[in-house]
Every structure is written in C-alpha cells, then in structure tokens.
Amino acid sequence: MPTTFLGGDLKLAADLAVANPDEILLATKSFSLGVETEGMEEGDSTQVFVAGSVPKAKAFDRKDNNYMTDNGGEHAWKTHTLDYHAKSSFVIARKFFNKLTPQKMAALLKRHVTAVVSKIVDDSFAKITTLAFPNFFNAGPALNFDEGAVNEIETELAKLIGSNSERNLILNMDHFSGLRKNLVNIPPAPTNNEVLLSGIIPGITGFANVIRTTALKSAGNENIVGFATNMSGIALSVAAVNHIPVFKDGAGEVENTIEATTGIPLTFSVDYDKDTRDYVATVEALYAISVIDKNGILCLTSTVAA
C-alpha cells in the first residue's frame, strides 16, 4: 500500500510541518554547546572536552627545571552518549489518509513536531538545577526585574566565565515580560511589537540576546526563573534516527528535515498496517544531554511567586 499523499510526498509535508511553529520554541544553540553527531546512532558515545579551572601559576625553578611538573587543573573529557529517543505517533484511518494533501498532513504533523522538540528542550532544562550549577542570583519578583538586575547578572556571570564569549540570558515568560516593561531604552511600537513576535530582546548589558521561554519549570523547592550562560554549561546533541524499525509490510516512507527555530533534526515516517488498515505517522529524534561546566550557567532564582 503506497504512503504517498495526494499531490505530494512526505518530504514536502515534513518541510511544511517545521515551518512557522505554533508555539514559543527556543533555539538550542542559545543555551547549549552543540556536539557533532554525524555517523552516530542510538547508544553511540563521543567525548566532549571541558576546560576547567586551574590553580595559580608557580614560579619557574631553574635549579629543578620544573617545566615537566604538572601544576594541576580540572580539564577533562566527558562521555556524551546518544541515549535519549523521543517520538510522537498518531494513527490515520485509511479513508482519511487517501484524502490528505501534503498541506493537510503538515497541519497534523506540526503539533507532533512541537511535542518532540519541546521534550528535548524540557529534558535539557531539567538538568539545570542549583545542585548541578551551584552559582545562582536572586532575580527577585518579575514585576521589579529591570536593566539594573540584568547588569548585575552579567557581572556575576563574567566573574565565572569571563567576558570574551557570547552570552545569552534565558528568562521565563513572567520575568521576560517584567524586563520588557521596565526597559526605558526600548520605545513603544513597532520595536516592542517586534520583541513580542520574536521573543528576543537583543544586546542588553553584555548579553547578545535576552530570550523568553515556556520551558523553564522549577524543580522541588527551587524556583528557577531563568539563567545566564555562555552556552558551555550543557552539551546537547540531536540526531535524526538512522535506523528505523522494519516496516511491517515494507511500504513505509522515511524523511529527515530540520526544525527551523530550534535547529533540531527530525525524522518523519509513515507506515501502513495491513492488520488494522490504518496508517501510522511518527515524528522522532535521538539526543544526548550532558552537564559540562558548572560555571557555564548562572541560575536565576526568585523567592517570590511571579
């Protein structure tokens, strides 16, 4: 049984499904270190180098010629394993599938695309705790969050990682809204409208971008409302699924494409089940998440509910 849609194909439907997301998504490169996954499959590992802190320099001892003496440091290679696999599937009755155009199929796929990429971001953010990243800043209530607070956050982050790399500030929806209202340097529309549409305030007090997200969720007694980062705290790798389980009747189709906002590669597949006479469509991805540098993320907490 063919799985080609009326007037198009799965590749076209997949490309349409990742265009113009219907929820607020977050580019993974804005908060994490990307690691190459070419040629990797589920369960494969790679090594990520972490440049850690070093002790104070020692005086050269000409008498002992201490050039070859190790002065120590926390440099390390950390194992990074592609062991997460997210998928979202749905069934389409044959009588409806045969009437689908790529545009209609894309509309069905779009919500499943969002579900998969949101899970990847959510799982990444679940790693961001004050236990894993012990440096934190009390951001206070959202209502009072302003440019002065952002300036203090930038200073605290610079103390941890310096100021020679690109840095971003990720905020929950309420603190982003509070900052936008309190920024005296952003005039009324259209600039504010552009900020609302993009979810990004560019170039504030040393940060390349201030970005809002719905993915930040507090864990336990923590109330993490955001974090500042130079993208070295977490390593995130995402790969398309190279090995698809054998289709039941050999009639399945598979296509890969990239979700434009997050940069996440996704695998789309459609299979036909002769037993149920239904089609099953799936969106999926492989990924790995590792905590890399405890100083690479400064957690923002608030003791006041937003």
What are the sequence ranges of the domains in the chain? 10-50+76-126+236-291, 136-231+294-301
pLDDT computed for residue 55 by the predictor: 74
Distance CA 141, CA 170 (A): 16
* Phi, psi of 60, rounded to the nearest 5 degrees: -70, 130
Q: What is the CATH number of domain 10-50+76-126+236-291?
A: 3.30.2400
Give the DSSP H or E segment for 114. Answer: helix 102-125
Q: How far apart are CA 275 and CA 249, in angstroms?
A: 10
> Do 222 and 216 meet the contact criterion of CB atoms below 8 Å apart?
no
Residue-level pLDDT at 243: 62
Per-residue pLDDT reduced to its tens digit, 54-84:
778 878 777 776 777 777 767 778 888 999 9
Question: Alpha-carbon distance 294 to 306, whole Å?
Answer: 26
What per-residue confidence (pLDDT) applies to 1? 52
Which among 80, 45, 42, 16 is positioned nearest to 241, based on CA atoms? 42
pLDDT of residue 115: 94
- Quote the CA–CA distance of 187 and 175 in Å, as a whole number: 19
Write down the residue that tokens 């990520």 correspond to.
48
Q: Which residues of the chain have pLDDT under 50?
A: 189-190, 306
What pTM value is reported for the model?
Answer: 0.84
Going by C-beta distance under 8 Å and a sequence separation of 6 or more, which residues neighbour residue 3? 10, 251, 252, 253, 270, 271, 272, 279
Terminal CA-to-CA distance of the chain, rounded, Å?
A: 54
Element (H, E) at 237: strand 234-239
Amino acid at 180: R
Q: Going by C-beta distance under 8 Å and a sequence separation of 6 or more, which residues neighbour residue 303?
A: 138, 223
For residue 216, the number of C-alpha atoms closer than 13 Å in the C-beta half-sphere is 26
Name the CATH code of domain 136-231+294-301 (choices 1.10.3470, 3.30.1380, 3.30.2320, 2.60.120): 3.30.2320
pLDDT for 215: 86
